[in-house]
Amino acid sequence: MEATSLRVFAGENIHARLPMASTTKAMTALVIIEKCNLSSVVTIPKAAVGIEGSSIYLRQGEKLTVKELLYGLMLRSGNDAAVALAIHAGGSVEGFVKMMNDKARQLGLKNTNFTNPHGLHDPNHYTSAYDLAVISSVAIRNPVFKEICSTKRVRISGDSEESIRDLYNKNKILSMYSGGNGIKTGFTKDAGRCLIASSLRENMQVVAVVLNRGDMWEECMRLMDYAHANYCMQKVADSTSPVGEVKVNNGKLNGTYIYSAPVYVERDMYYPLKKDGSEKVSISVSIPRSIDAPHDKSVSLGKMEVTFDNRLIFCEKVYTMVNIEKKNLRDKLRDFFGIKHRISYRAA
């Protein structure tokens, strides 16, 4: 999957509901980053101490920042860090789980349900490869999430010498794969080996997800190889090139009469397409035949829609990008007597 467009390049059984072990923590981290102050200090509660499975061995009463706990969550897969963060953000584990499920619904995920923030097995705790790829794609667009999950090693200090921990990332993709920048490993007996891998090459951020695969490293690298070999981000709309032209009634620009003006989108737009040029997008622009001066450049004239494979991928407002003045009485008299400077405004 490409992370900005959510385009799926390849997949098998991508909507099957499966347990996901510690890859759960991608959603835990995303919700925490969106809801919490990273510099807030968390006093570790008793409920977060001694959680089974992967741990950073938190002690009751010690103090760490939210960001330090996020490193413990994502690099060492600390289940205790997950519980400490959940209680901090949600007031309780149950309260935080509701936040996770609310986020899943917000993202439109149909095959995901959380019962805990760490991924220890529960029959009602599941996702699909597609849903987990969406969660991870949205998460890795966040610069804090990307920074944390791409960190190979970090020292966290906490509030005392006893709280100092050197954390090493379990994710081999960071070292094994060119451009590798995330995201999370996972394993339980019930879930099997799970991996969210990500890589950035030539401005294309790719996310690969496998659930219950013994060859998770090789399979994720194979999927990412396929994506990078066959697709690239291509500009489908240019903010410096007109996408259409509108007639202007009674208009002038910098003292010169104008009878038409080009319209533009405000930003460049990119979409992953095949490198061989075999894939094309369709563009349609909806604007009025004419406008009356004066016209403020901040007022949208209509929209541009970009579709691919009969699916809308962009819908952007269009603008003139210049303020158009209205002719005054003197200008109209000059028009009447044939003293005209007929031009159509075009951007340099």
Say if residue 341's pLDDT is above 70.
Answer: no
DSSP sequence for 303-322? EEEEEETTEEEEEEEEE-SS
Same-domain pairing of 226 and 249: no
CA distances, 179 to each of 76, 150, 186, 207, 228 (Å): 21, 10, 21, 12, 10
Say if residue 333's pLDDT is above 70.
Answer: no
The span from the CA of 341 to the CA of 338, in Å, is: 9
- 77 is an active site residue: yes
Say if residue 337's pLDDT is above 90.
Answer: no
3 lies in a domain?
no
Same-domain pairing of 176 and 286: no
The CATH number of whichever domain residue 198 belongs to comes to 3.40.710.10
* Catalytic residue of the set 5, 54, 77, 137: 77
Same-domain pairing of 163 and 121: yes
Q: Which residue has the higher pLDDT, 340 or 217?
A: 217
What is residue 348's predicted lDDT score, i.e. its pLDDT?
A: 47
Same-domain pairing of 34 and 161: yes
Band (183; pLDDT cuts 50, 70, 90): very high
* Catalytic residue of the set 5, 22, 136, 137: 22
Same-domain pairing of 243 and 199: no
Among residues 206, 232, 258, the one where a domain terminates is 232
The CATH number of whichever domain residue 317 belongs to comes to 2.60.410.10
pLDDT digits (tens, 9 = 90+) for 159-180: 999 899 999 999 999 999 999 9
What is residue 338's predicted lDDT score, i.e. its pLDDT?
A: 60
Domains contained in the chain, number: 2
14 lies in a domain?
no
How many Cα neighbours within 13 Å face the side chain of 104?
25
342 lies in a domain?
no
Same-domain pairing of 159 and 50: yes
344 lies in a domain?
no
Say if residue 58's pLDDT is above 90.
Answer: yes
* Catalytic residue of the set 5, 25, 67, 198: 25
Q: Are 173 and 220 in contact (CB under 8 A)?
A: yes
Same-domain pairing of 101 and 186: yes
**Structural tokens at position 264:** 């533009």
Same-domain pairing of 141 and 46: yes
Same-domain pairing of 326 and 263: yes
What is residue 320's predicted lDDT score, i.e. its pLDDT?
A: 97
- 22 is an active site residue: yes
187 lies in a domain?
yes
Q: Are 251 and 284 in contact (CB under 8 A)?
A: no
Neighbours of 317 (CB within 10 A): 13
Say if residue 296's pLDDT is above 50.
Answer: yes
Among residues 215, 232, 249, the one where a domain terminates is 232
Same-domain pairing of 192 and 72: yes
329 lies in a domain?
yes
Range of the domain at 279: 238-336
105 lies in a domain?
yes
pLDDT digits (tens, 9 = 90+) for 3-38: 999 999 999 999 999 999 999 999 999 999 999 999
The span from the CA of 273 to the CA of 278, in Å, is: 8
pLDDT digits (tens, 9 = 90+) for 138-151: 999 999 999 999 99
**What does pTM read for this prediction?**
0.92
DSSP conformation class of 114: -
Same-domain pairing of 202 and 96: yes
**Structural tokens at position 192:** 């099997």
Among residues 174, 207, 232, the one where a domain terminates is 232
Same-domain pairing of 223 and 249: no
109 lies in a domain?
yes
